[in-house]
Amino acid sequence: MKKKKHNSKATDATTVEESIRPYAIADKLRTLRLRRSMGLAQLAEHSGFSPAMLSRLENGRLVPTLPTLTRIALVFGVGLDYFFTDPRKRHVVAISRCNERKVFPSDPKSTSTSWSFESLDFRANERKLNGFLAHFHSLPEQKLTPHFHPGVELLYLIEGELEMTIGVEKFQLSAGDSVYFDSLQKHAYRSLVKTPCTAVVITTASST
């Protein structure tokens, strides 16, 4: 009499799925995306994963690997521990060390982006605002791609000379200047100097 072969791969997959179920990773993935008012197609562009795969992850039909979660976490500026932390024990104090941060282009698919950024609060969970260190580049005006997002934005220019387009108006900022605006208006940034042009940028999820 032949013994039935034990399907160890299926058993391992079930064990992993049951182990991570309490962390509600699928719900956390969906929440991150919706908070940014981002569609699956847009997240696919930034992460490199297909919309179909992202949909399966958000619906719990696919168990994510650590590299997959890491890449998505980088898109949203959160730490990997965001997915494995009990919401009741979220960080109250979160320090982002300079040597831990990474610089990301505003548009990963473009070879000539007008700015790049570092997340200043990627270690904090359940953030009520987002802080960035932004680096602006000098580009011809015709190459600028205005964008918009929900909420409001506060920019403080640390160094350089920056031209901002907000709606149909243009503004020039020097080091020490700041600007606050409704970020649902289309806006774009352009450095007016070849030397570094850097600012601290704070955004919120919704306008008040």
Domain membership flag for residue 2: no
The verdict on residue 190 lying in a domain is yes
Range of the domain at 20: 8-89
Q: 186 and 118: one domain?
A: yes
Across-strand partners of 204? 129
Residue 110 lies in a domain: yes
Long-range contacts of residues 30-33, Cβ cutoff 8 Å, at least 24 apart: 30/58, 32/72, 32/76, 32/78, 33/58, 33/76
Q: What is the pLDDT of residues 8-52, one digit of tens each?
A: 555 555 666 777 777 788 989 998 898 888 899 999 999 999 999
pLDDT for the residue numbered 113: 83
* Structural domain contains residue 21: yes
Spans of the chain, pLDDT less than 70: 1-16, 86-92, 110-111, 125-126, 205-208
- Closest by CA to 198, choosing from 109, 120, 127, 128, is 120
pLDDT at position 208 is 43
Q: How confident is the model at residue 6, as a pLDDT?
A: 52
CA distance 3 to 111: 59
Examine the domain organization and report whether 52 and 117 are in the same domain. Answer: no
Q: pTM of the predicted model, to two decimals?
A: 0.60
**Are residues 131 and 76 part of one domain?**
no
Residues 44 and 107 grouped into a single domain: no
Question: At 205, which helix (H) or strand (E)?
Answer: none
β 169-174/187-191 pair status? unpaired
Same domain, 61 and 118: no
Q: Does a structural domain hold residue 1?
A: no
Same domain for 53 and 121, yes or no, is: no
Yes or no: say if 161 and 197 are a contact pair by the CB < 8 Å rule: yes
pLDDT score, position 102: 87
Domain termination site, one of 68, 89, 110: 89
Residue 115 shares a structural domain with residue 170:
yes
Task: Report the domain count for the chain.
Answer: 2
Q: Is 3 among the domain residues?
A: no
Residue 186 in domain: yes
